[in-house]
Chain A
Amino acid sequence: MSMAANAYTLQIRDWSFRITPLRIMLFALTLGFGLLAVYRLIVGLGATTNMNDRWAWAYWLILDYVFIALAGAGYSMALMSHVLHVQDVHRVSRRGLLISLLFYVYALVILGLEVGRWDNWYRPLFYWGYHSPLFEVYIAIIFYFGIQLIEFSEVATEKVFKPANRYVQMLLPAAFVLGAIIPFGHQGALGAIFLAMPNKLHPLWYSSMIPWFYVLTSFYAGLSLLILEMFWSNRLYASGIDMPALHKLLRVGACLMAAYFVWKIIDLYRLDALGYAFAGGFESALFLLELGGGVLLPALIGFSRWGKTGTGLVTFAALATMGLILNRANVLYTGFYRTLGPGYTPSWIEWGVSIGLFAAIILAYLFIVENFNIFKAAKH
């Protein structure tokens, strides 16, 4: 191990990682996560979480839903950049891929802690419960995770195992096509999971259309997060703001959000549930906040001239991302409150695990962008 000129940069051969006080804090949080996770695996769910027989799905499952949806950049980029070859977009597609990969890792780790019998995780590979939407989620995510690893190995083999790059290139066309289509399957099936709860989920959210809504919302949420990532990384690394690419993302995102908004209203009307939106009560309020503040408002910003400015883009993307988070939380918490009743708030361990793991993901992100070619792809 050798220390480079900058005393705060850890340097081992051609790997480097800057150490700052903030990053030390992130390391500490990651360590905390590790301890809590091990503790959870040893003592079980009852002693560590506030989940119970009524709230059998809770905060951790909301996180899974949120992170898989926000990882939408992976497939939206594969589709826009490698299937449709939309101009400008290919320059940001590696960023999309990276966010997606890290967010899947996050969701899968949380999922591993969330299920009770993680030791049986491989069972469905041999016992196909194919009547369950969850089976589709399971198979598609396993498959897609492999594809993301292939996609990412293109980036990785530019630095390590360089000769392998040739072979990775041969796999890439198939990986991009499959990587663009498969997430449609599990994003939709994640919504379809709720189809089995017609007498439990609140009519503001229960609909036969929910699988399609989940696909649509994850697609634009992924784009929004990518916009945020570009501004954030520019602040950290002055990696540049690729306005032409961002404007493409903005346009596609805003159009999809507008489409979702209209479709959702029509759907509520079709199901005769529009009245619930104005019935008062906290369900209505949170629903209006979600659809108004998290869908309609950003869509309008996206269509406005101001939306194309830096602040406009960030506002658009932040609102859209919040809207997505609120939607997933609304379905799993607000929408079930009427049926399951009060009696659940996340325990400090549930919070700690979620925060600590997020710190780990941020560290992984920083390490990868500092050691691999994620941004510079923009140059050619």
Chain B
Amino acid sequence: MTKSVLLDLTQCIGCGACTVACKLWNQLEFADGAPATGEKAVKDHSNWTTVTFRKVQKDGAPVWRFVKEQCLHCLEPACVSVCFAKALQISKEGAVVYRPDLCVGCRYCMLGCPFSVPKYEWQRSLPNVSKCQMCAGKIAQGEVPACVGACPTGAMTFGERDDNLALARQRIEQGNGRYINHIYGEKEAGGTRWLYLSDVDFSKLGMVTNVPEVPIASFTDDYLRWTVPLLAGGALLFTALRHYTKRRNDIESSQASQKESKKK
């Protein structure tokens, strides 16, 4: 069972209700210089979700699109695999959640996340990483995430990922060319729990599109699986070499001293 949200960007009107609901539920600060909504929306430690207004070209005419972004809750999250302290974990329902009590603050998750989602509380003396938790507490009780519940147009559908994927495909097929044929999150980084539908290219919307289609963990695992056997083998080899080279040198030097004593 893995929960998911299908976000149909064509239905987003940019009201920003989701960003307010997010802040209220998660008790995040409203900061003057860092709006969560608008052309200059700022993604930071207190804006877990943002709605960025973008003017894009569609069929030769400029149109406005409103792009709600947050953590995508990957199926095999890079942030979870790169965290050496297990401070990022996947909940039973499939939310990628953060445990500040375990975090060392290395910030590898910030750079390891292919979408650069996690942000940092730079102003605190013992700062934490901060990102969308998909309202893990709410969904564990069978509720929908705060942002989903707040959306007046119903642009987001909360449900099982398989159902959401099927729904997305159905919309693309029945939309008569209304949507582009790309479900963002179906394959990105091995698949994400948030899925997006759009009528313009995702790269035009400022979303990260150069992500590999395999989980990030596969890149590091390819190397890491070798390290323990290699190191153990190396230790054995070095022990053997240590004895061998020492004996060789001892023999050489005793031969040399024998020769010398013969000369005398």
Pairwise interchain contact B249-A188, C-beta atoms closer than 8 A: no
Pairwise interchain contact A124-B224, C-beta atoms closer than 8 A: no
In the complex formed, the residue of B with least CB distance to A140 is: B231
Pairwise interchain contact B110-A53, C-beta atoms closer than 8 A: yes
Does residue A275 face the partner (Cβ distance < 8 Å to B)?
no
Pairwise interchain contact B122-A117, C-beta atoms closer than 8 A: no
Does residue A131 face the partner (Cβ distance < 8 Å to B)?
yes
In the complex, chain A residues whose CB is within 8 Å of the CB of B246: 85
Pairwise interchain contact A188-B227, C-beta atoms closer than 8 A: yes
In the complex, chain A residues whose CB is within 8 Å of the CB of B207: none
A window 151-197: CB within 8 A of B? 173, 176-178, 180-182, 184-185, 188-189, 192-193, 195-197
In the complex formed, the residue of B with least CB distance to A188 is: B227
B window 241-263: CB within 8 A of A? 241-242, 245-246, 248-249
Pairwise interchain contact B125-A208, C-beta atoms closer than 8 A: no
Which among B124, B222, B235 is the interface contact of A178 at CB below 8 angstroms?
B235
Does residue B153 face the partner (Cβ distance < 8 Å to A)?
no
Pairwise interchain contact A134-B227, C-beta atoms closer than 8 A: no
A121–B248 alpha-carbon span in the complex (Å): 45
Q: Which of A37-45, A250-258, A316-324, A351-359 contacts B (4 or more CB under 8 A)?
A: A37-45
Does residue A82 face the partner (Cβ distance < 8 Å to B)?
yes
Does residue A211 face the partner (Cβ distance < 8 Å to B)?
yes
How far in angstroms is the closest Cβ of chain B from A377? Answer: 17
Does residue A138 face the partner (Cβ distance < 8 Å to B)?
yes
A129–B44 alpha-carbon span in the complex (Å): 26
A273–B195 alpha-carbon span in the complex (Å): 33
In the complex formed, the residue of B with least CB distance to A200 is: B111
Q: 0/1 per residue, A101-143, Cβ < 8 Å to B? A: 0000000000000011111110110011111111111100000
In the complex, chain A residues whose CB is within 8 Å of the CB of B227: 136, 185, 188-189
Pairwise interchain contact B104-A44, C-beta atoms closer than 8 A: no
A137–B220 alpha-carbon span in the complex (Å): 13
A243–B155 alpha-carbon span in the complex (Å): 75
In the complex, chain B residues whose CB is within 8 Å of the CB of A127: 85-87, 102
B window 19-62: CB within 8 A of A? 43-45
Cross-chain pair count, CB within 8 angstroms: 184
In the complex, chain B residues whose CB is within 8 Å of the CB of A198: 114, 212, 216, 219
Q: 0/1 per residue, B123-148, Cβ < 8 Å to A? A: 11111100000000000000000000
Pairwise interchain contact B119-A124, C-beta atoms closer than 8 A: no
Pairwise interchain contact A133-B223, C-beta atoms closer than 8 A: yes
How far in angstroms is the closest Cβ of chain A from B43? Answer: 7
Does residue A278 face the partner (Cβ distance < 8 Å to B)?
no
In the complex, chain A residues whose CB is within 8 Å of the CB of B116: 54
Does residue B211 face the partner (Cβ distance < 8 Å to A)?
yes
In the complex, chain A residues whose CB is within 8 Å of the CB of B210: 199
In the complex, chain A residues whose CB is within 8 Å of the CB of B108: 132, 134, 193, 196
Does residue A79 face the partner (Cβ distance < 8 Å to B)?
yes
Does residue A366 face the partner (Cβ distance < 8 Å to B)?
no
A40–B100 alpha-carbon span in the complex (Å): 20
A223–B127 alpha-carbon span in the complex (Å): 39
Instruction: Given A134-B82, A196-B216, answer yes or no on A185-B231 (Cβ-Cβ < 8 Å).
Output: yes
How far in angstroms is the closest Cβ of chain B from A67? Answer: 17
User: B residues engaging A (CB < 8 A)?
Assistant: 43-45, 78, 80-87, 100-108, 110-112, 114, 116, 119-128, 208, 210-212, 216-217, 219-224, 227, 230-231, 234-235, 238-239, 241-242, 245-246, 248-249
Q: Which 3 A-B pairs have the closest CB atoms?
A: A116-B105, A46-B122, A117-B105
Pick 13 A–B contacts, CB within 8 A, sort by A.
A44-B124, A83-B238, A116-B126, A120-B85, A120-B101, A120-B103, A123-B104, A127-B86, A137-B84, A195-B219, A196-B108, A196-B112, A208-B219
User: A residues engaging B (CB < 8 A)?
Assistant: 41-47, 51-54, 56-57, 79, 82-85, 87, 115-121, 123-124, 127-138, 173, 176-178, 180-182, 184-185, 188-189, 192-193, 195-200, 208, 211
User: Known pairs A44-B127, A123-B102, A129-B82. 6 more at Cβ < 8 A?
Assistant: A85-B249, A115-B106, A127-B102, A131-B80, A131-B224, A199-B114
